[in-house]
Structure 1
Amino acid sequence: MTDSLNRFTNRVENYRKYRPGYPPEVLSVLQQVTGFNTQWVVADLGAGTGISSQLFLEHGNEVYAVEPNRSMRQAARELFGDQARLHIVEGTAEATTLPDAAIDLVVAAQAFHWFNIAATRLEVRRILKPQGWVALIWNHRQTQGSKFLEEYEQLLCTYGRDYAAIRDSHRDQQRLDDFFGNGQTGSNGSYQTFEIPHEKWLTYEDLRGLLMSASYVPLEAQSGHANMLLDLRSIFARHAKDGEVLMKYQTELFVGQ
């Protein structure tokens, strides 16, 4: 795969405007499993433009949004302004720059598949408080259940440069097992899995923006871009109802220590 640090640089605006958020049920699960509350300090690794950080800020938490990409950090600053509880940090999952034993909950939303597992595990252990928790989150777009979902998936398979590899890395069981540990780092290696369905109606502008936020599709100056948008327009025209199509997601949440 190409460099994960820079592959979103030219997609920041679409990423900020059109990527889906995370359902509030994520917070309910964390409260039930971990005792999560507003006093907890959260580190959001690979925070991007702050989509996942926003969920925890609105809950009332102090959040350290750790992001290596300068354009992404700037977009987060523009979105959130000078919120006192948000700290935007230049760093990586493997080297956050955060203090030792300072964090109650480490979160990685739509980002864990880019991390070096061994280095991230050591860094997370360093910054977590002794009884701290980790939550790994993905929004999985549903690929079956309607003709629209199936045709959109085929569009990505046709035009996405390394789409299949990225898609499959989201559900790499071995990476999860390696991260949560086998005793080498003092972890008991256990985690729980939760699935939360949600959906969103999209206009053509929304759908196009969502597509162009993906790191694996061709940009305007690249080969295949024009044909991809022609195909996208055709898919939308076939399946839109009252000017919108229904995108369905399954938020997958892995919670452990």
Structure 2
Amino acid sequence: MSNTEKFSGKAEIYARFRPDYPEAMIRDLISENNLDQASVVADIGSGTGILTAQLVEHGLTVKAVEPNTDMRHVAESSLRMNPLFTSVAGTAEQTTLQNQSTDLITVAQAFHWFDPVTFKKECGRILKSWGQVVLIWNSRVPDAPLIQESETICKQFCPDFNGFSGGLDSISSRFKTFFQDGKYQFKTYDHPLYYNLEDFIGRHLSASYAPKKSASNYQPYIGALTELFQKHSQNGMVPFPNETRCYSGHV
């Protein structure tokens, strides 16, 4: 299965259970990149439009580039009436956007799926000379007991599991190679999440590696997650340690 098809059939659950991004991060993106109503942002690997929606809410024109049809259609159904939103059927490596047409490129929860060398060339083609690329992840806090135990469950029941976000959002060497002269800015934002049982399970099922209902490991996976939730929950809710990580720079 190609990377562009890994979320086929999961778009609805992804849109419902994946978290948004901190408002402080959005404000920083706008101020640090001198964005205004005339600016164009390319949101690459835009998925169901979670970050895209936050950007257009702040008055930015966004070209949402997404190769997966299911994911793209969910974004279109919720944002198509907004004149600042344009849906683009393209890949990170071939966005189809015009040369030097973009003031900023954002990539949320998606860089680990890209070919970084080809994507870097594409960024250089579509960005204006001053434009930057911002790579963003909502990342589980790795030393939290809940996260460590959920990782053990994923390793047991999800054959395709290779670490959360493919383990990439903590590998600095990949960023040094991607950004110009190995220079980039790294910022973190506290973004704790709180889930009831349905949301907790839904968040885990939205992952590319999570088994689908037809799989033999689906029910055992749900059972293990339910036990984990019950172990850590209080008053029907569980805190889900999370922070938002941003890596930004020129390419």
TM-score by length of 1: 0.91
Where does 1:1-257 land on structure 2 (aligned, <5 Å)? 2-145=1-144, 147-164=145-162, 166-182=165-181, 189-257=182-250
Residue deviations 1:166-187 (CA, integer Å, cap 9, x gap)? 53223232221221134xxxxx
Asked if 2 retains the 8 angstrom alpha-carbon contact of 1:197 and 1:248, the reply is no
How many angstroms apart in 1 are the aligned matches of 2:72 and 2:27?
Answer: 28
Q: 1:62 to 1:32 in 2, by over 3 A?
A: closer
How many angstroms apart in 1 are the aligned matches of 2:211 and 2:26?
Answer: 35
How many angstroms apart in 2 are the aligned matches of 1:95 and 1:21?
Answer: 26
Residue deviations 1:107-151 (CA, integer Å, cap 9, x gap)? 101101111111111111111111111111011012333x43332
Residue deviations 1:71-117 (CA, integer Å, cap 9, x gap)? 11111011223210000000011100011111000010110111111
How many percent identity over aligned positions? 34
How many angstroms apart in 1 are the aligned matches of 2:34 and 2:156?
Answer: 44
Q: CA deviation at 1:32?
A: 4.7
How many angstroms apart in 2 are the aligned matches of 1:173 and 1:32?
Answer: 25
Letter in 2 for 1:14: I
Q: CA deviation at 1:221?
A: 1.1
Residue deviations 1:11-30 (CA, integer Å, cap 9, x gap)? 11110000011111112332
How many angstroms apart in 1 are the aligned matches of 2:170 and 2:2?
Answer: 20
SS in 2 for 1:214: coil
TM-score by length of 2: 0.93
Unaligned runs of 5+ in 1: 183-188
Q: Counterpart in 2 of 1:185? A: none
Residue deviations 1:188-246 (CA, integer Å, cap 9, x gap)? x4210001111121111111111110011211111311111111111112221111111
Q: 1:39 to 1:143 in 2, by over 3 A?
A: same
SS in 2 for 1:251: strand
Query: Aligned pair count?
Result: 249
SS in 1 for 2:188: strand
How many angstroms apart in 2 are the aligned matches of 1:132 and 1:143?
Answer: 32
Residue deviations 1:42-98 (CA, integer Å, cap 9, x gap)? 000000000111121111100000000011111101122321000000001110001
Asked if 2 retains the 8 angstrom alpha-carbon contact of 1:18 and 1:206, the reply is yes
219-228 vs 40-49, which deviates more? 219-228
152-161 vs 95-104, which deviates more? 152-161
Asked if 2 retains the 8 angstrom alpha-carbon contact of 1:64 and 1:87, the reply is yes
SS in 1 for 2:95: coil
Asked if 2 retains the 8 angstrom alpha-carbon contact of 1:143 and 1:153, the reply is no
Unaligned runs of 5+ in 2: none
Asked if 1 retains the 8 angstrom alpha-carbon contact of 2:146 and 2:232, the reply is yes
